[in-house]
Amino acid sequence: MSDNPLTPTRLERLQALFEEALEHPAAERAALLETLEPGDEYLRTEVLALIKAHELGEDQFRSPVSASALIDATTGEDRWVGTRVGAYRVVRLVGVGGMGAVYEAARDDDQYKKRVAVKFLHRHVGSEPALARFRAERQILANLNHPNIAALVDGGVTDDGQPYIIMEYVDGLPITQWCDEQNMSVHNRLSLYLQVCAAVQSAHRSLVVHRDLKPGNILVTGDGRVKLLDFGIARLMTPDGDVAMPLTVSGSRSFTPDYASPEQVRGLPVDTRADVYALGVILFELLVGYRPFDLRGKSIGEIEKIVLETEPPRPSASITEARASLIGERSASRARAAVEGDLDAIVSKAMRKEAERRYGSADLMAFDLQQHLIGLPVSARPDGVGYRMKKLIRRRKIETAALSLAVLSLVAGLVATTMQARRAEAQSRRAEQVTDFIATMLGSADPASLGKDVTVREVLDSAAAHADTLASNPELEAEIRSVIGSTYMGLGEFEAGEAQFRRALDAHKRRVPGGDYATAVTLTKQSHALEYLGEYAAADSVMKTASVLIDRFPHKDPLEYATFLDQRGRILARLGKNQEAEPVFQEALDVTTKAAPGRDSLLAYAYVNLGFVEAELGKFPKAESLYVAAITSARRAYGNEHPELAAMLSPYASVLEYAGKSAKADSVYLEVLAMRKKLLGEDHPEYAWTMFNYADYLLGKKRYPEAALWSRKVLALRGKTLPDTHMAVSTAMGVLGRALGPMDSLAVAERALRESLELRRKHLPEGHWAIASSESILGAHLVLAGRYSEAEALLVPAEKKLVEARGEDAAVVGDARKRLVLLYTQWEKPQSAAGWERKLKSAAGP
């Protein structure tokens, strides 16, 4: 346009022609303009271009004026920069996109300079239930733990109702741009692309569909690692969030049309295979340099028609001379040869119009790409013998130069390839079935069929019921139930989760009666669920079975193995078997440090668990430094106000207390109490534990009235949120009793202590050290009451049991011996008192 200056006269003429042409049917316009303006070709083209722009509709021309835009503009800066979001301070605007503005933020304190990306979503979450749902769904995303997926750090809603999510900050380039800048070869592009498939597959297994995969969401960092952004964000963005958080949204079109599958364009419910389609488009673009369809400047109607009806071109046919050098090939014909055949077929299969004819999963697509990379047949191609032979010969060429053996190896190779293909088929079939099932589940979450309020919980319930139909295929059933179970756990539905794991194990048993590695992994999950339900003995026996199985396998996935060790150690510790737990946790820490350096949340757990048993074993300096390491990692991973952080500060306070650092302990206790009350509410069992710990601490400091007050607060929850099986009940009862003793409420105290002991005898396995500890405490109380012989009958055997269970050096053994010294001193039996004094000193000595 610039070479044709727009004079007022010409513009007037342009408008007149434009208006005139608009009056006529599209087909006649060109001819009409020819008659009206035969001399000026420029004007004629311009008019047609204007009409095209006009037809894009008003949607393209929405007014930018809004209250928030004006605030941003009139304050001269951004409304979020400088504000606090969660534990982070917003530093600067990085970009504004379709789903909202993206900012860089940094941790608010100087201690940890962690960079994150904050996204403010264009959506308001008003009501309480909507908020709760937003948080639940967000939790599922937070559990997407994959090295190639940018981690969701946090998310929430600002005071004025603006939802946001905080993600790992990724400094990288879109995968297409990165590959082009490096002139990457086709082979290297595919290797990189496999990382993308792996990440997508991992998310699909957690029932999260991306819905908006595109190069801009697939970044490659400076060190060549792929990071996928915005997983599941499309779902958090669903428009009627005030009503529900549906898994799928009909009719919403918050996607980039270039990568959208036909079902998305039509506004139908989508599942994992919409992501497979997008993967196909991205692979095309990665190879060819542009996208299969040119949708620029097209109207919605035109876009629909193209995506629904036009077959994408073959990538190999689309490679230009200019492109060849970018993908590291000397000529276009060489580049085309590298892409022709397998890669054409793979892209075409991923981009089929009908979802059911695409690859069933990202895994299956990755499998084909891998086959291609090592020169084996791909499933996307017709299964002709000729194709196989060609493949084989090419493969032979690469692998061996021994031409004299060519014929022989050809025959051998053909057999091997056929077998390989057959095995691949079986493997693919199962992967496909899992994916189909998941897809059906997500599909059945169509708001139209289940009503508006479709939540993850409902989808899971219907999936669990649906899984009954899989009885004939135990392998598939086990895998699917395990996925469902884990998702229930993520929602905090432990009982439902445990039931699914149990049924997964039934299926495993039908598959391999003796059990195998997969069985062990499921057992670990079941044990975890049982632990959450407070059934430690059952959780322990489950782990014993798992240990036997897992020890048979020398090569374990390190993170899976760390999870297993962690679970086994935790159950041992819960049962008071700290001597046994210690080496298990030490190994878990070693494995985690090696397998996941820099993964702060995982490291924090490994440290804290080992710290816990060290403290239980009375090794306080060691425990203290482990806790410090854990809390440092946790603050880095979660910020300064987070349930997980509280869970670590709480035992840290006890350790400080035992290590004699009272002032520090007191302040840590108060930090945890405040944090938990705010995060969990006053009725929460975790808050109860914290109150109990504080009560116990106060007791130790002889602050009896306060100790009684806090333990009574714990006991107020008994029967409400704390069942009698919960350790906090019996323990708090014990503290109350001991606090009341010195306050002269001897009878009340005795009742509390006896009830505490009874609860423990009833709910803990026989021989548990905590029972002995209760007996010893009751004995001490009887000393105060002057009932010495009754006291002796409790204190002596209790000390013996404690030594057996915890060893000579345990803190509880020392306590028990102090009580014996007190008994015999009060009872005026100095010889016995002196004997216990010696035992106490020799054990405590260096």
Partner 1 sequence: MEITAILQDVENGVAGAADRLASAVFADLHRIAQAAMRRESEGHTLQPTELVDEAFIRLVGQKNISWQNRAQFFAVAARTIRRILVDHARHRLRQKRDHGIRVTLDESISSAPDRSLDLVALDEALERLDAAAPRQARVVELRFFGGLEIDETAHALGISPATVKRDWTFARAFLLRSLEATA
Q: Which residues in 42-101 contact partner 1 (CB under 8 A)?
A: 46, 49-54, 56, 58-76, 92-99
Residue indicated by tokens 């495993």: 508
Helix crossing, 558-574 with 536-550: angle to 10°?
140
What sign results for the dihedral spanned by CA atoms 470, 475, 477, 479? Answer: negative
3-state secondary structure 294-346: CCCCCCHHHHHHHHHHCCCCCHHHHCCHHHHHHCCCCCHHHHHHHHCCHHHHH
Among the residue ranges 9-17, 332-340, 671-679, 701-709, the one whose residues contact partner 1 (CB under 8 A): 9-17
Closest CB to partner 1 among 103 and 437? Answer: 103
Pick out residues in 276-305 that bind partner 1 (CB under 8 A): 295-298
Name which position in 1, 27, 401, 465 contacts partner 1 (CB under 8 A).
Answer: 1
CB of 67 or CB of 426, closer to partner 1:
67
Residues 583-642 interacting with partner 1 (rule: CB under 8 A): none
Shortest distance (Å) from residue 110 CB to partner 1: 22
Single out the residue of 11, 337, 419, 747 in contact with partner 1 (rule: CB under 8 A).
Answer: 11
By CB under 8 A, what part of segment 122-141 binds partner 1?
124, 126
Residues 235-264, interacting with partner 1 (CB under 8 A): 256-258
39 or 95: whose CB is closer to partner 1?
A: 95
Min CB(277)–partner 1 separation in Å:
18
Count of residues near partner 1 by CB under 8 A: 74
Residue 26 found at the interface with partner 1 (CB under 8 A): no
Which one, 62 or 555, has the nearer CB to partner 1? 62
Single out the residue of 201, 206, 217, 435 in contact with partner 1 (rule: CB under 8 A): 217
Q: Is the alpha carbon torsion for 117, 122, 127, 131 positive or negative?
A: negative
Of 205, 214, 372, 528, the one binding partner 1 (CB under 8 A) is: 214
Q: How far is the CB of 756 from partner 1 (least distance, A)?
A: 50
Closest approach, Cβ 202 to partner 1, in A, equals 21
Q: How far apart are CA 637 and CA 231, in angstroms?
A: 19
**Residue 2 is encoded by which pair of tokens?**
């610039």
In the bound state with partner 1, the residue whose beta carbon lies nearer, of 75 and 310, is: 75
Distance separating alpha carbons of residues 309 and 428, to the nearest angstrom: 29
DSSP 509-526: HHH-TT--HHHHHHHHHH
Segment near partner 1 (CB under 8 A), from 208-216, 243-251, 405-413, 765-773? 208-216
Of 190, 209, 363, 356, the C-alpha closest to 271 is 209
Shortest Cβ distance from residue 252 to partner 1 (Å)?
Answer: 14
Bridge partners, residue 120, by sequence? 101, 164
- Torsion on CA atoms 754, 755, 761, 767, rounded to nearest 10: -40
Instruction: Select 52 or 390, whichever has its Cβ closest to partner 1.
Output: 52
In the range 752-771, which residues lie near partner 1 by CB under 8 A?
none
Q: Which stretch binds partner 1 (CB under 8 A): 116-124, 319-327, 461-469, 556-564?
A: 116-124
- Give catalytic residues, as residue numbers: 212
Cβ of residue 6: shortest distance to partner 1, in angstroms?
A: 5
Residues 709-748 that bind partner 1 (CB under 8 A): none
Compute the least distance from the CB of residue 427 to partner 1, in Å. 35
- Binding segment for partner 1 (CB under 8 A), chosen from 18-26, 359-367, 492-500, 792-800, is 18-26
Using CB under 8 A, which of 7, 472, 789, 831 touches partner 1? 7
Q: Are 163 and 134 in contact (CB under 8 A)?
A: yes
Residue list 138-177, contact with partner 1 (CB under 8 A) = 160-162, 170-174
Nearer to partner 1, 158 or 462 (CB): 158
Return the bridge partners of 218, or none. Answer: 228
Q: Which amino acid would we find at residue 707? A: A
Q: Smallest Cα–Cα separation from 96: which of 71, 66, 121?
A: 121
Return all residues near 59 (Cβ < 8 A) that are at least 6 apart. Answer: 300
DSSP assignments along 163-213, one per residue:
EEEEEE---EEEHHHHHHHTT--HHHHHHHHHHHHHHHHHHHHTT---S--
DSSP states of 345-361: HHHHHHT-SSGGGS-SS
**Tokens 């928030």, residue located:** 68
Pair of tokens at residue 646: 């509280």
Nearer to partner 1, 230 or 342 (CB): 230
Q: Does 117 bind partner 1 (CB under 8 A)?
A: yes
Quick check: helix, strand or coil at residue 569?
A: helix
Identify the residue among 33, 85, 87, 102 touching partner 1 (CB under 8 A): 102
Interaction of residue 343 with partner 1, rule CB under 8 A: no
Cβ-based nearer residue to partner 1, 47 or 543: 47
Q: Give the distance, in angstroms, between the CA of residue 606 and the centroid of all CA atoms in the same chain.
A: 18
x/- track of binding to partner 1 for residues 358-377 (CB under 8 A): --------------------
Axis crossing angle, helix 517-532 with helix 474-490, rounded to the nearest 10? 30
Give 45-54's long-range contacts (Cβ < 8 A, gap of 24+).
46/1, 46/14, 47/14, 47/17, 47/18, 47/21, 48/21, 50/14, 50/18, 51/18, 51/21, 51/22, 52/297, 53/297, 54/18, 54/22
For partner 1, the closer of residues 143 and 254 by Cβ is 254
Residue 168 CB, shortest distance to partner 1, in Å, is 11
The long-range contacts involving 656-659, CB below 8 angstroms and separated by at least 24 positions, are 656/624, 657/697, 657/700, 658/615, 658/618, 658/620, 658/811, 659/620, 659/621, 659/623, 659/624
Tell me how crowded residue 832 is: count the other CB atoms within 10 A of its CB: 16
Q: Write each residue from 676 to 705 as x if it is in contact with partner 1 (CB under 8 A), else as -, in one continuous string.
A: ------------------------------
CB of 546 to partner 1, least distance (A): 42
Provide, rounded to whole angstroms, the least separation between the CB of residue 98 and partner 1. Answer: 4
| CB nearer partner 1, residue 18 or residue 605 | 18
Smallest distance, partner 1 to C-beta of residue 560, A: 32
Q: What is the DSSP string of 703-764?
A: -HHHHHHHHHHHHTTBTTTB-TTSHHHHHHHHHHHHHHGGGT-HHHHHHHHHHHHHHHHHHS
Which of these, 586, 650, 702, 658, lies nearest to 810 by C-alpha position? 658
The H or E element containing residue 120 is: strand 115-121
Q: What is the DSSP letter of 215?
A: G
- Distance from chain centroid for Cα 175: 23
Query: Distance from CA of residue 545 to its chain's centroid?
Result: 27
Select 64 or 597, whichever has its Cβ closest to partner 1.
Answer: 64
* Min separation Cβ 12 and partner 1, Å: 7
